[in-house]
Chains A and B, each alone.
Chain A
């Protein structure tokens, strides 16, 4: 696995890109919630569309569309694997 400094965040991934999650840098209930929704290390998330004001952004994860605010997506680390 890469060093954290080489990773980017889900927030920085662009529409249409696929993003491999490697680290969920959140604590407590919110982390539990994100894991339950499918944002687990090793899972691939597809960036779908941003809302008109740019935030939140919708993602396809484990077969369902989930929207995250930037407060959350900035804490999900990993890498873009394909355009």
Chain B
């Protein structure tokens, strides 16, 4: 039976681990401070009898690899290619969360956004138009409260539909200055010829132009290890998604 992989990403202290526990029934350590999750924790649950593997990534404000935790989260999303990256945003401080959201939308098409801490947002009198946000960002946006187990069924339902390809996303992609766009397009074309469709060529092109030498090293590393044991990587891709891929 197919097993889908879901990665949980988001800012520190937005309730990723609480959601992880609520979904898997595990008791991963949760705490009200930033930087609690530094390594990857994974757990399983079944929804409608389909096994889902949930991977809890470290919370970060960004994925430009300023630090080890950002690197861990970024490498997982780009190189391990989960079937869906579930972005957990803090409904009470969206302004802060959307920075990371735009970065993730640049990295992969398979993004589902959940607005966590909706109970807190309500207490503060905040009203969030999830539908409009979904329209603007081009991916599903589901309001939840992981702590009170609200919205989890809708969330699991949408996750499954995205894994199986029933829901197709059209993520909003940042547009850069004309001159930069021209360079991105040129580099993107070359990169996708070299790397094939398995890597997010546009995102890599942008990072290359930014001079991200650590990423180039990580990519080289990844390609070298694929050469030796490419079987594992190939099978995850086959299991992954039916269509779409990373054409930006």
Are A and B co-members of a single complex?
Answer: yes
The reply to whether B93 and A64 contact each other, CB–CB distance below 8 Å, is: yes
Per a CB cutoff under 8 Å, which of A29, A36, A62 touches B95? A62
The reply to whether A36 and B93 contact each other, CB–CB distance below 8 Å, is: no
Could you tell me the distance in whole angstroms from the C-beta of A32 to the nearest C-beta in chain B? 6
A38, B100: Cα distance in complex, Å: 11
The reply to whether B96 and A32 contact each other, CB–CB distance below 8 Å, is: no
The reply to whether A36 and B66 contact each other, CB–CB distance below 8 Å, is: yes
Could you tell me the distance in whole angstroms from the C-beta of B63 to the nearest C-beta in chain A? 9
Give the number of chain B interface residues (Cβ < 8 Å): 9
Is residue B108 within 8 Å, beta carbon to beta carbon, of the partner chain? Answer: no
The reply to whether B64 and A63 contact each other, CB–CB distance below 8 Å, is: no
Within 8 A of B (CB), among A24-74: 29, 32-33, 36-38, 62-64
Main secondary structure of the interface of B (DSSP, over half): loop
Within 8 A of A (CB), among B48-92: 61-62, 64, 66, 92
The reply to whether A32 and B66 contact each other, CB–CB distance below 8 Å, is: yes
A36, B66: Cα distance in complex, Å: 10
The reply to whether A62 and B93 contact each other, CB–CB distance below 8 Å, is: yes
The reply to whether A36 and B92 contact each other, CB–CB distance below 8 Å, is: no
The reply to whether A33 and B66 contact each other, CB–CB distance below 8 Å, is: yes
The reply to whether A32 and B95 contact each other, CB–CB distance below 8 Å, is: no
Query: Whose C-beta in chain A lies nearest to the C-beta of B92?
Result: A63
The reply to whether B62 and A32 contact each other, CB–CB distance below 8 Å, is: yes
Could you tell me the distance in whole angstroms from the C-beta of A28 to the nearest C-beta in chain B? 10
Could you tell me the distance in whole angstroms from the C-beta of B38 to the nearest C-beta in chain A? 18
A79, B23: Cα distance in complex, Å: 47
Which chain A residues border B99 with CB–CB below 8 Å? 36, 38
Interface string of A5-30 (1 = CB under 8 A from B): 00000000000000000000000010
Could you tell me the distance in whole angstroms from the C-beta of A11 to the nearest C-beta in chain B? 22
Which chain A residues border B62 with CB–CB below 8 Å? 32-33, 36
Query: Whose C-beta in chain B lies nearest to the C-beta of A28?
Result: B66
Which chain B residues border A64 with CB–CB below 8 Å? 93, 96
Query: Whose C-beta in chain B lies nearest to the C-beta of A61?
Result: B96
A32, B207: Cα distance in complex, Å: 13
Within 8 A of A (CB), among B25-64: 61-62, 64
Known: A36-B61, A37-B61. A63 touches B66 (CB 8 A): no
Could you tell me the distance in whole angstroms from the C-beta of A41 to the nearest C-beta in chain B? 14
Which chain B residues border A37 with CB–CB below 8 Å? 61
Question: Which residues in B have some Cβ–Cβ distance to A below 8 Å?
Answer: 61-62, 64, 66, 92-93, 95-96, 99
Known: A36-B62, A36-B66, A38-B99. 16 other contacts (CB 8 A): A29-B66, A32-B62, A33-B62, A33-B66, A36-B64, A36-B99, A37-B61, A38-B95, A38-B96, A62-B93, A62-B95, A62-B96, A63-B92, A63-B95, A64-B93, A64-B96
Offer 24 A-B interface pairs, CB within 8 angstroms, sorted by A.
Answer: A29-B66, A32-B62, A32-B64, A32-B66, A33-B62, A33-B66, A36-B61, A36-B62, A36-B64, A36-B66, A36-B99, A37-B61, A38-B95, A38-B96, A38-B99, A62-B93, A62-B95, A62-B96, A63-B92, A63-B93, A63-B95, A63-B96, A64-B93, A64-B96
